[in-house]
Structure 1
Amino acid sequence: MSLSSSSFFLSRALTIKLDNNQATSAELDLATELKLPSAYQYHVNQLSYGSELWQKYSQLLANTQGEQAYLLANYFSEQQHLERAQFWYRHAINLNYQPAYFALAKLHFTEKRFEQAKQLLDKINHNKETDSLRIQTALHLGQLASLAQLLKPIEQTDHLPMLKQLADYGVFELLIQRGLFDAKHQPHQLLANKTNSASTQCHNSVQFYATNLADLQRLEQLLSKFSKHQLSTYFCFETPRYVPLPELNCKKRAGQSKTLAIECDESYWQRWADNIDSRYIGIMLPEGGANVHFGIMYIDQQDNELVLAHELSHWLGFIDEYPLSAQHQACASIQTEPFANNIVVLDSFYQGRRADARRLILTKLPWAEQIKSSTPILTAHKTGWQLGTPETHENENEIGVFNADSCSLSKTFAYKPTKGRTFMQSFETPFPSSYQRLLDHLNGRFAMPSFEYNIALAKFKLGDKGQAVKWLNRASMKEIDKSRQERVKIGGF
């Protein structure tokens, strides 16, 4: 075939041959040398997906073709090269390739760049997939007004499973309470199932909250796994509910581990309290160290059921047996009265008659009744008697007085009922049966006060003593034991 010397006609002829898969090897080389898009496309079609040469020619083609830029971005996304994926999605958008908008929005969402995801979603048409991501993004951002606007026109048949979840998690109820959504727009099939409140089923009732749909689902899975734990019989749980993250005003404070403990403005819960029947509140947040602060628990989305069980045990009155901070209140001084199921902070040396010292110590131990009369708790020392069950009596089932690491960073000495590591020191260690017997015997003596106590404390810190007293009184109403009621009223925890 005779080809014109004109580059235009040459390029056109080569393109036709390549498009019809009729080009020779020499013509392909020539077309590649001339940087013809059809040559790059031919290479991309023939080469192994993801190979070095495939990537080379894909990038050359993607410089001018939005679809290839989009496909190249998909490849990098699959390979978790997210910066390169983002670059090529943006390039595809610049070339006005519409599917790239949603793909980049999903990438931003996955990488927790929710504002950027929203900006892209605002530029594309509504359909089932894009609306689902819009709703989830609004939940993450806590933008209730935007969420209400999204939910009003949505076709319920297309989104019924998600809308049912939103109803069950209290989203519609919250929007209605805030005056952002008309109750008549919520069809009957989306009304949350009303069951008996957990607060009527047990004393230690818990209402968990999360700040996005994925974490609400994660909470349900977590609570399901916890149901197999020994401590599950001591708690009952409401269906998790949604709370907007920006309203919580959370930060991370220095804690015991490398992960900073979660801390939020707990006065916030006064606006929710009238709709919470439960004794305790739990909040799952995107990140931060798990901890319990009186009647409120904080966990993050990475925590498993063992972490949850450990934190729940604090509500029951157990204290950590790993080293607490040197400034921890529990280790500040010798205790004047017991404060936990499993830890006492006592003098380590005693003088006088051994029997007298033993009687005195037993009055300070919550687990005194479980110690056999034959089990020694003091050993002879040159200055008198040293507190602690001796090595010869230390075995897995022995209840005595054993050194605990709780106050090892302080100048005081902590003691626990059993030998070795327990669940309160290491999450992976089983919860001791002796601790469960102790828990049943003490019957909530050292349990944490309800979440209203946290509101009172927050009000006191703000200098609002009148409100602090009000919330202490409300917290006392969650107590059964009269002595605990009085203690809560005076802020005695």
Structure 2
Amino acid sequence: MRGLFLAVFALLIVVGDTGRYAPQLVANATTALSYVREQAQLKLPSELSAENTYRVRSAFALLWHAAQLNSIEAQQTLMTSIEEITSHQLNPESHFPSPPGESTDSDELSQELSQESDELSQHRGNEQTAANTSTQVPKLNALYWLENLVSIDNADAAWLLYQLIGEQSASERFMALAAKGNVAEAQLAYAMSSQSPDKREKWLIRAAEQEYLPAQAALADWYLLHDQNKKAKPLLAATASLDMQSAFKYGRLLWDEGNVDEAKIYLKKAANLGQQQAKDALAITQRYSVTALGDVKPFDWAQGNQCLQRIQPFAASLATMIRADSFYRQFNNDERLASLSLCVAPPIWLPKDALSCSDDYNNRNVLGCDVKPLANIAKKRQFSHAVVVAKQGKANVQNGVMFLDIGDTYSVFVHELAHFAGFADEYPIARSMARKICDIQRISDFSPPNLVIDSPHYYAPVVTVSRWAKIDPNTIVAKAKTCEGVSKNSYKPSRRITFMEHHDTGAIPPLYLVLWQQQLEKQQAQRPISMNFFQAFHHQGDQKEAAHWLAKYEAFVGKTS
């Protein structure tokens, strides 16, 4: 005990004798910390003996004095020591045990740190007085010392404090200070917390410039999202050897550029690391190949009434082809839809520039493409409807063509398939469309099989309600949300939330499947792709081609099953 007293006393004497000379304060603090590290095998432990607690407290006090004298070395030494002591709080797999009686549960630890941070302001005045008094050593409290360092704008301390306290309890000030202090991890977190696109990109760039791998990968994703492949490419190249997600995206990008051999190297690398999309991509390259518009072959559809709608998917990149193939395979394995007279052909992989698409097609804020290049394929393959999978945009159906992007799931595909048969959405639709379909004089022009609206004496169209009752006399007419945008009541034949309201969780009631098949058998109630071609060629001024497709449309809707 005598040795402990002399050690602490010597440290405190040094404070007075050095006249607060920073290098000497740092040297004496380092000596004390080195002694503790030697006993703990080169690292300050999370638990200290009584003697070593006094040594570390005294050393921290000296370092804080030096830090206040603008000593960068003192700040760095104090930060390193705090990181060693708190490492068990940041890394649950640390070999340092928790203090006796303390829970190791991360949630309890986060709560404890949050409470300690809240109490910090109450004790800060007393602790600060203790730090500046030569006869008293302040409490060994990591949060207290970090707050001190944050008060002199130490970015590393701000980031560690943010991590220790937890995202919910920590002030955004800590993260912002750390980001501005060039802490790459904080810059990435700061970027991802921002709702401003410009601000997010700015901080992603700053973090990536420090060669911080997660930031480089995040910035590459940002550029890919905004169709800036040239900017994304060097970032993906830098991270592909270390990150399987980047390896997959880099391989996909190389493939779309035509660098097939190098693309396969990265796709195989990602697949070997367990990246499922890379495995799917390699499978796609084995099953399909890019086919020029003029080289597409005819397709043998099932005969009779098995294919009242003949649906042909298209894609023009590796990413969109992966998605199109997944729709095709899932549809053919979907037992729910097996009774419907729908046929989906294998997708066709077109050259990347075969279709001109936009996520704001015709200024409508939806995905769309100029489908005229598909007309000759339609003549060969005799499909009645098409699915175009593009990179990005809002899913929709327009006159026999379904537009989906790579983010759409199979449930979206099924929802849009129902639109092919005339089903209406059961969520609140846009006012422009609601003014048409929710109007008592115009709803008969659409006659959706799953929707009716109020009329003065009953529902309209009354024939739709009769259809429901004929299929199932126990049908319950329930409120729908379709016409809420124009403050009108609409109704559907089910109390359940169906797939026409929530595609991802909604059910397909048996009644809807019967209605769906009936719609397929009433081809005059459908809008095949021939109408789309007619409108496109007529608008272009190609009246010969327009006349051809108008005749095809009239023949289709004139059929009866």
TM over 0.5: yes
Distance (whole Å) between structure 1 residues aligned to residue 360 and residue 422 of structure 2: 26
CA shift for structure 1 position 328: 2.8
Comparing both structures, which one devotes a greater share of its residues to helix? 2
Q: For residue 265 of structure 1, what is the aligned residue in structure 2?
A: 369
Does structure 2 conserve the Cα–Cα contact (< 8 Å) formed by 1:331 and 1:407? no
1:59 paired with 2:170, answer no
Q: 5 Å matches for 1:22-421?
A: 24-32=56-64, 33=67, 34-36=71-73, 37-47=76-86, 48-49=89-90, 53=143, 56=150, 59-60=156-157, 69-72=183-186, 76=189, 81=193, 90=205, 94=209, 97-98=210-211, 100=212, 102-110=213-221, 113-114=225-226, 119=231, 121-122=233-234, 125=238, 127-129=240-242, 133=246, 136=249, 147-149=257-259, 151-152=261-262, 154-155=264-265, 157-159=268-270, 165-166=280-281, 168-169=283-284, 177=292, 199-200=301-302, 202-203=306-307, 204-208=309-313, 213=319, 216=322, 220=326, 224=330, 228=334, 230-234=336-340, 235-238=342-345, 247-251=356-360, 262-267=366-371, 269-270=373-374, 273=377, 278-283=383-388, 290-299=395-404, 307-319=412-424, 325=433, 327-328=435-436, 333=441, 341=449, 365=463, 397=473
Distance (whole Å) between structure 1 residues aligned to residue 543 and residue 278 of structure 2: 42
| SS of equivalent to 1:297 | strand
Distance (whole Å) between structure 1 residues aligned to residue 397 and residue 319 of structure 2: 23
Aligned length: 417
Q: For residues 219 and 333 of structure 1, do their structure 2 counterparts lie closer, same or farther at Cα, with a shift above 3 Å needed?
A: farther
Distance (whole Å) between structure 2 residues aligned to residue 67 and residue 154 of structure 1: 41
CA shift for structure 1 position 311: 2.6
Q: For residue 445 of structure 1, what is the aligned residue in structure 2?
A: 522
Distance (whole Å) between structure 1 residues aligned to residue 420 and residue 324 of structure 2: 22
Distance (whole Å) between structure 1 residues aligned to residue 313 and residue 362 of structure 2: 22
Q: For residues 9 and 420 of structure 1, do their structure 2 counterparts lie closer, same or farther at Cα, with a shift above 3 Å needed?
A: closer
In structure 1, the gaps of 5 or more residues are 179-195, 255-259, 350-360, 373-394, 486-493
Q: Counterpart of 1:122 in structure 2: which amino acid?
A: P
Q: For residues 333 and 270 of structure 1, do their structure 2 counterparts lie closer, same or farther at Cα, with a shift above 3 Å needed?
A: same
Distance (whole Å) between structure 2 residues aligned to residue 475 and residue 144 of structure 1: 41
Distance (whole Å) between structure 2 residues aligned to residue 476 and residue 171 of structure 1: 40
CA deviations on 1:207-243 (whole Å, 9 max, x unpaired) are 4467774994598389749955743532344556778
CA shift for structure 1 position 452: 4.5
CA deviations on 1:129-156 (whole Å, 9 max, x unpaired) are 56852662686xxx78863237536537
Q: 2:538 aligns with which of 422, 435, 460?
A: 460
Task: Report the TM-score when normalising by structure 2.
Answer: 0.52
Distance (whole Å) between structure 2 residues aligned to residue 46 and residue 224 of structure 1: 53
Q: For residues 127 and 429 of structure 1, do their structure 2 counterparts lie closer, same or farther at Cα, with a shift above 3 Å needed?
A: closer
Q: For residues 337 and 296 of structure 1, do their structure 2 counterparts lie closer, same or farther at Cα, with a shift above 3 Å needed?
A: closer
Does structure 2 conserve the Cα–Cα contact (< 8 Å) formed by 1:121 and 1:134? no
Task: Report the TM-score when normalising by structure 1.
Answer: 0.58
38-47 or 153-162, larger mean C-alpha shift:
153-162
| SS of equivalent to 2:79 | helix
Q: For residue 169 of structure 2, what is the aligned residue in structure 1?
A: none
Distance (whole Å) between structure 2 residues aligned to residue 66 and residue 415 of structure 1: 56
CA shift for structure 1 position 176: 7.0
Distance (whole Å) between structure 2 residues aligned to residue 321 and residue 458 of structure 1: 30
Distance (whole Å) between structure 2 residues aligned to residue 14 and residue 413 of structure 1: 77
Does structure 1 conserve the Cα–Cα contact (< 8 Å) formed by 2:454 and 2:489? yes
Does structure 1 conserve the Cα–Cα contact (< 8 Å) formed by 2:531 and 2:549? yes
RMSD between aligned residues: 6.1
CA deviations on 1:64-90 (whole Å, 9 max, x unpaired) are 99999345557x48x964689987765
CA shift for structure 1 position 265: 3.0
Question: Among the aligned pairs, what percent are the same residue?
Answer: 14
Q: For residue 106 of structure 2, what is the aligned residue in structure 1?
A: none
Does structure 2 conserve the Cα–Cα contact (< 8 Å) formed by 1:319 and 1:424? no
CA shift for structure 1 position 44: 2.0
CA shift for structure 1 position 405: 9.0
Distance (whole Å) between structure 2 residues aligned to residue 277 and residue 342 of structure 1: 29
Q: For residues 147 and 484 of structure 1, do their structure 2 counterparts lie closer, same or farther at Cα, with a shift above 3 Å needed?
A: farther
In structure 2, the gaps of 5 or more residues are 1-9, 39-54, 91-109, 118-142, 160-176
Does structure 1 conserve the Cα–Cα contact (< 8 Å) formed by 2:367 and 2:394? no
